[in-house]
Amino acid sequence: MCEVNKENFGILYQDIKQSIKNAKFVSIDLEFSALYPLKSHMPSLFDEASERYLKIRRNLEHVIPVQVGLTTFSFNPDSGSYLGTVYNFFIIPASFPTLQNVFCFQSETLEFLRFHGFDFNRLIYKGIPYMNTTQENELRKKLQNNEISEVMSNFKSELQNVFEEECEAINKWYGNAKEGDYISLDKIHDKYKSNIDIIYFLHKGFRAKFKNTWTRANNYEFILKKVSSEELKLLKKEKNLEEELLDELLGSQKYSGY
Amino acid sequence: MCEVNKENFGILYQDIKQSIKNAKFVSIDLEFSALYPLKSHMPSLFDEASERYLKIRRNLEHVIPVQVGLTTFSFNPDSGSYLGTVYNFFIIPASFPTLQNVFCFQSETLEFLRFHGFDFNRLIYKGIPYMNTTQENELRKKLQNNEISEVMSNFKSELQNVFEEECEAINKWYGNAKEGDYISLDKIHDKYKSNIDIIYFLHKGFRAKFKNTWTRANNYEFILKKVSSEELKLLKKEKNLEEELLDELLGSQKYSGY
């Protein structure tokens, strides 16, 4: 069994794709946060198929899958046997201002997951974030229209503090810095690297505040670099902060930093 | 800071009570699973106090506190200073057939808790269970009227399997057992001890199936004992399985087993 989380999804992605391609058949299994959270839509023995479908659907609108199991079965003609490869995905709704994801948990479901040793910290700390297509398109539009500002962040005061603090450090460095020089902002990396929201607004804030600079973050560091106007123009054309943010909120690990 | 969970609540209870009694003042702080899960009841700058109160109240009906912080401040007249003692309670709605606890989580809240290193496994595995008074009274009535059976359990098939398996072992032992003899059912203890639901139905099932027996469970074992009719009558009068179940679903650790 292979656990897939936000840290290794990018690395495993091609393998998983290939494994599906080679499969004769696949099976999918989901663990949910609740089954029938709506008292008004409980199943009944006397439901017709259409009624039951509607009830399940209405209930599922308030439920998230907390784990997706995918097993691909490939056939080995020499041995005449099937080989099953199991992937277990932890997934969790993306969090970003205006997304407003609300979902239900049921005590019985928690009890069931607990009984089977489910790791809730892995779900919440390492789960692959996702949005549905409607959310993705709406968020893209809002980002393009500059409708989302840092004051809408859940971490507003945290953001303000770290921004002001780091601006002081950057200011000291900026005067003597030459084109090509960069400064590594370790505190940001160490404390905030897994907070998509804070990291995005810091990129945006620094780039706006300091002329001819570019920021970049990856698993190892958060840096701010002094660049020429030409390089800046090129970078802006090549790398779109908002598209990279959307990729990240979709669990995509293809980028290597902004 | 002292963490209070379902394992040490019974031990710490008297200390906490005393600490509150000695305090000049106390402060209470809660972490919630969500803040405004209802889109239809979002706060507005133009709310009057009564409207805002109603909105908060409606929203809170769908929210659970995941951690309760209690600080008691006692005054030391010699040094003229206050001493704060901090207790941090993990609490979680009790799970039992017919309780139907459903509650919301919000992505932003999860993100906030994650950012502050909240331990979700400790909440769900070690949280102190609770019910409100209405739930407690309704459940008591249903238990008294024998309206809750093992077929309503979330762990129906698990229960059936373990019951049949252990009955076989008990049957073998029962024939030659004398009054006062007991058998320790280690598998039940090892695998199910933290599942209130399964343990309750096993107590009930064994006591009904095997004449003149009594069951008892604690942190160390689950045993079934052969007793005389007189002793059985006395035990039944002294120890009420349903009241002890309710105690456990309320996080009370005062009993030392059934």
**ipTM of this complex:** 0.89
Residues B186 and B119 in one domain: no
| Domain end position, chosen among A112, A130, A148 | A130
Domain shared by A234 and A149, yes or no: yes
| Together in a domain, B13 and B119 | yes
The type of residue at A228 is S
Q: Are residues B150 and B232 in the same domain?
A: yes
B258 domain-assigned: no
Strands (E), B77-189: 81-93, 102-106, 128-130, 182-184
B45 lies in a domain?
Answer: yes
Pairwise CB contact (< 8 Å): B37 & A120 = no
Q: Note the pLDDT of residue A255.
A: 41
How many beta carbons lie within 10 A of that of residue A123, not counting itself? 22
Domain count for chain B: 2
B125 shares its domain with B158: no
Report the alpha-carbon distance of residue B42 to residue B55 in Å, rounded. Answer: 7
- Residue B42 or residue A255, greater confidence: B42
Q: Which of B83, B99, B130 is the last residue of a domain?
A: B130
- Which chain A residue lies closest to B154 (C-alpha atoms)? A108
Q: How much of chain A exceeds pLDDT 70, in percent?
A: 98
Structure tokens at B213: 């027996």
Pairwise CA distance, residues A11 & A130, whole Å: 17
Instruction: Give me the percent of chain B exceeding a pLDDT of 90.
Output: 89
**From the CA of B200, how many Å to the nearest CA of chain A?**
15
On the question of pLDDT at B254 being above 80, the answer is: no
The C-alpha angle with vertex B123 and arms to B62 and A8, in degrees rounded to 5, equals 100
| Residues of chain B found within 8 Å of residue A94, distances taken between Cβ atoms | 107
Has residue B255 got a pLDDT over 80?
A: no
User: Are B12 and B99 within one domain?
Assistant: yes
pLDDT tens, position by position, B155-203: 999 999 999 999 999 999 999 999 999 999 999 999 998 899 999 999 9
Confirm whether A254 is domain-assigned: no
Average pLDDT across chain A, whole number = 93
Point out the residue among A34, A115, A120 whose CB comes nearest to the CB of B195.
A115
A125 and A149 in a single domain? The answer is no
Whether residue A158 sits in one domain with residue A118:
no
Answer whether residue A89 is part of any domain. yes
Residues of chain B found within 8 Å of residue A100, distances taken between Cβ atoms: 39, 106-107
- Last residue of a domain, which of B77, B112, B130? B130
Amino acid at A57: R
Residues A79 and A161 in one domain: no
The verdict on residue B211 lying in a domain is yes
Domain check: are B9 and B116 in the same one? Answer: yes
Contacts of A198 (CB under 8 A, 6+ apart): A153, A155, A158, A159, A162, A192
Among A133, A142, A144, A147, CA closest to A250? A133
Q: Let me know if residue A158 belongs to a domain.
A: yes
| Minimum-distance CB partner of A107 among B93, B113, B194 | B93
Residue A135 located in a structural domain? no
Best interface-test mutation with B: which of A39, A114, A188 has the largest number of B CBs within 10 A?
A114
Structure tokens at A185: 């902002």
Q: Is B169 in contact with B186 (CB distance < 8 Å)?
A: no
Of B191, B194, B172, nearest to B181 (Cα)? B172
Q: How far is B61 from chain A (nearest CA, A)?
A: 12
B44-76 pLDDT, tens digit per residue, is 889 999 999 999 999 999 999 999 999 999 999
Give the model confidence (pLDDT) of A212-223 as tens digits.
999 999 888 999
Sign of CA dihedral A219, A223, A228, A230: positive
CATH of residue B109's domain is 3.30.420.10
B253 Cβ contact partners less than 8 Å away, ≥ 6 residues apart:
B6, B9, B10, B11, B13
Instruction: Say whether both A6 and A124 belong to one domain.
Output: yes
Residues of A in contact with B123 (CB under 8 A): 120
The answer to whether the CB of B246 falls within 8 A of the CB of B136 is: yes
In this model, does residue A257 exceed pLDDT 60? no
Give the N- to C-terminal CA distance of chain A in Å, as an integer: 33
Longest dimension (CA), chain A: 78
Q: Identify the pLDDT of residue B251.
A: 87
Q: Give tens-digit pLDDT for A20-62.
A: 999 999 999 999 999 889 988 998 889 999 999 999 999 999 9
Task: Specify whether B98 is located in the same domain as B27.
Answer: yes
Q: What is the pLDDT of residue B258?
A: 40
For residue B22, the model assigns a pLDDT of: 96
Task: State which of A246-250, B117-121, B237-241 shows the largest mean pLDDT.
Answer: B117-121
Q: Which of B41, B121, B131 to mutate to test the interface with A (most CBs of A within 10 A)?
A: B121
Residue of A nearest to B197 (CA): A111
B253 — pLDDT class (breaks 50, 70, 90):
low
In this structure, is residue A31 part of a structural domain?
yes
Q: By residue range, what is the domain housing residue B14?
A: 2-130
Place of tokens 């405004």: B36
pLDDT at A19 over 70: yes
Chain A residues touching B124 at Cβ < 8 A: 110, 113-114, 120
3-state DSSP assignment of residue A20: helix
